């Protein structure tokens, strides 16, 4: 069993994703807006100990909203990549339990199309607003799923893994099936079983591994330079610097970041270009040269290959001056 669980929450705005994060962590950690229109499109991470174990939850800004373009979400997709490295133990896809409209079906379709087979092995569905559906006529969330062919197909792709909570009504006073505590315990056990089925490892790919190597290298550099900062602050700064590097290098890339995160664009990083990422992220100071070499590229592979061709390790002082 992993000492820390990293969970990425996915879904569309208005389905109770941030509230679900609070329910999982057992407190008010994520800001919850009163309406979808007021929700900020930011990726954030919060931590808490649950049943004696550290749980890290990365709340994403509605990656599967049909009204938002990937271009609008790109900075937060990149932030999610840096925050969850070397990879999450689970992608928790948050969906609202209830009657499904064309918009909800479009979101389900987009999720299905965005995930690669490997990502589905680490995915679980979490339904919110369970009080609206779990009643005398529908005893379990599995019965609700059976009412929709599209939902059943998605749950099947996730290995049949699905759970349900209600962020508003299923309080600590509730017992049995309609208890958030019971459902969260079951969710975390499912994540542990999922990890065991996958050899005890978290989900990762070449991109996430390269980002983790970059964070480790930048952390080591900062530990030498920032002697007065504690370990947690240095790790935060390292992630922030790597996020900045990725944004500069991948700033011209359109339409592939979600696929790269979820394992669809394997070929983008499975050839010598994968070495590009490692070299690029191994030294944050090489960013300026990489940006100039890659700024006109429109694909991940092209941007990273161009950056690799530049001599990234020769610009330590220049990076510090140009990015202040």
- Name which of 129-143, 205-219, 229-243, 257-271 the model is least confident about: 257-271
CATH class of 4-197: alpha beta
Per-residue pLDDT at 321: 46
d(CA 186, CA 69): 34
- Residue spans per domain, the chain: 4-197, 206-322
309 pLDDT above the threshold of 60: no
- Give me the chain's average pLDDT, please: 77
Tally Cβ neighbours within 10 Å of residue 244. Answer: 16
d(CA 77, CA 111): 15
Chain position carrying tokens 């309080």: 171
- The reported pTM is 0.80
Instruction: Write out pLDDT tens, residues 83-100.
Output: 998 899 999 999 988 767
- Please list, in sequence order, all residues whose beta carbon lies within 8 angstroms of the beta carbon of residue 138, skipping any fewer than 6 positions away: 144
Q: Which residues of 76-91 are buried (b: 16+ CB within 10 A; e: fewer)?
A: bbbbbbbbbbbbbbbb
| 56, 75, 296 from 252: Cα distances, Å | 30, 12, 7
Per-residue pLDDT at 57: 96
Check if the beta carbon of residue 33 is closer than 8 Å to that of residue 4.
no
186 pLDDT above the threshold of 90: yes
Q: Which is higher by pLDDT, 141 or 256?
A: 141
Average confidence (pLDDT) over 113-134: 86
Per-residue pLDDT at 221: 78
Query: Would you say the C-alpha torsion 157, 162, 167, 169 has a positive or negative sign?
Result: positive
307 pLDDT above the threshold of 60: no
Q: What is the DSSP letter of 176?
A: G
Chain position carrying tokens 């992220």: 281
Question: Confidence band (pLDDT; 50, 70, 90) for 7?
Answer: very high
Strand partners, 93: 10, 125
């Amino acid at each position: 069993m992993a000492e820390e669980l990293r969970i990425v929450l996915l879904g569309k705005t208005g389905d109770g994703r941030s509230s679900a994060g609070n329910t999982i962590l057992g407190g008010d950690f994520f800001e919850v807006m009163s309406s979808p229109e007021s929700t900020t499109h930011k990726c954030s991470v919060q931590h808490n100990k649950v049943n004696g174990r550290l749980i890290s939850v990365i709340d994403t800004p509605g990656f599967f909203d049909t009204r938002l373009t990937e271009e609008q979400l790109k900075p937060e997709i990149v932030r999610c990549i840096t925050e969850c490295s070397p990879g999450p133990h689970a992608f928790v896809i948050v969906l609202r339990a209830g009657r499904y409209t064309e918009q909800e079906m479009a979101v389900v379709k987009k999720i299905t199309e965005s995930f690669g087979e490997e990502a589905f092995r680490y995915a679980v569905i979490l339904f919110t607003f369970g009080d609206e559906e779990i009643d005398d006529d529908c005893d379990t969330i599995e019965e609700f799923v059976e009412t929709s062919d599209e939902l059943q197909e998605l749950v099947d792709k996730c290995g049949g893994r699905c759970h349900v909570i209600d962020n508003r009504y299923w309080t600590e006073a509730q017992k049995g099936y309609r208890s958030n505590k019971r459902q969260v315990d079951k969710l975390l056990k499912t994540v542990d079983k999922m990890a065991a089925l996958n050899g005890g490892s978290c989900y990762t790919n070449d991109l996430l591994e390269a980002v983790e190597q970059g964070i480790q290298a930048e952390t080591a550099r900062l530990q030498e330079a920032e002697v007065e900062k504690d370990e947690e602050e240095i790790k935060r700064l390292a992630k922030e610097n790597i996020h900045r590097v990725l944004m500069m290098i991948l700033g011209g890339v359109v339409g592939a970041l979600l696929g790269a995160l979820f394992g669809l664009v394997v070929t983008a990083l499975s050839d010598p270009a994968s070495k590009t990422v490692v070299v690029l992220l191994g030294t944050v100071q090489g960013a300026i040269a990489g940006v100039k070499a890659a700024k006109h590229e429109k694909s991940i592979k092209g941007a990273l290959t161009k950056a690799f061709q530049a001599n990234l390790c020769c610009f330590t002082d220049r990076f510090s001056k140009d990015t202040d």
